[in-house]
Amino acid sequence: MASSVELRAELGQAIQRVLARRLADLRVAAETYSSVEDRWLHRDLVDELRQRPGLEIGSKIPIMAEGNKYVDVVITRHQERLLVELKVFVTNYGRAGRPVTNQRDAIRLDLMALSQRLDEHTDTCVVWLAYPIPSEREAEWTVNHLRPIQRFSGGTVLLGAPINIGQAYARAYLSEAPK
C-alpha cells in the first residue's frame, strides 16, 4: 500500500516535531522515570497531525474485530487508514527492582491485536518511545528489548536520531504489525 507508506511517513515526522517541541518535558520525564503518553504525547500528536492538510484524525476510536479495542490514533486519507497505538517504554536503567519486560510485551500484544484489524485499506503500527537509555547500556537495550520487538513486528524503524535527554537518550520507533 503506497498510501500507508505515506501515512507512516507523516506520522513519523509528526512524532519527531512533537518530541523536538517537548524536549524539556521529555528530559524531566526521563529524570523522574515517568510516562509522557497520557500527560502530553497522545494529545500533542493528535493536534500535530490535525494540522496536516488532507488527513482526517481520530482519537481513541473503537475498532471492531474480536472484541472492542480502542485505537489511540486513526489517520485516514481518502480510503486508506492507519491505526496507531502509542506506547511509552520507561526503562529501569539506574533503578533496581522495576521489571520492564511487561512494557516490551505490551508492545508485542498491541502488534498482535492490530494485525487482526488489517484489510485492503487498513494498515497498523505501534509508535513507541523508549527512555532513558544510557549510551553504555545500548547493547543491552538492543539485545533484551529492541530485537525481540523487531523479530515480532512486520518491521521496526527508528524515527529520527536518538534524542539526547541529559545523561541518557530517548528513542522513538515505529513498528508495523505483522501481516
Judging by beta carbons within 10 Å of its beta carbon (0-12, 13-18, 19+), is residue 45 exposed, middle or buried? buried
CA 83 to chain centre: 11
Nearest to 174 by CA among 138, 125, 131: 125
Over the stretch 66-116, which tens digit does the pLDDT of each residue have? Answer: 566 789 999 999 999 999 999 999 998 877 766 688 889 999 999 988 888
Phi, psi of 124 (to 5 degrees): -140, 155
pTM of the model: 0.93
Q: How many domains does the chain have?
A: 1
The answer to whether 61 and 102 have CB atoms below 8 angstroms apart is: no
The DSSP string of 100-138 is -HHHHHHHHHHHHHHHTT-BTTEEEEEEEEEEEE-GGGH
d(CA 43, CA 64) in angstroms, rounded, equals 23
Which residues span the domain enclosing 136?
2-176
Over the stretch 115-171, which tens digit does the pLDDT of each residue have? Answer: 887 788 899 999 999 999 999 999 999 999 999 999 999 999 999 999 999 989 999
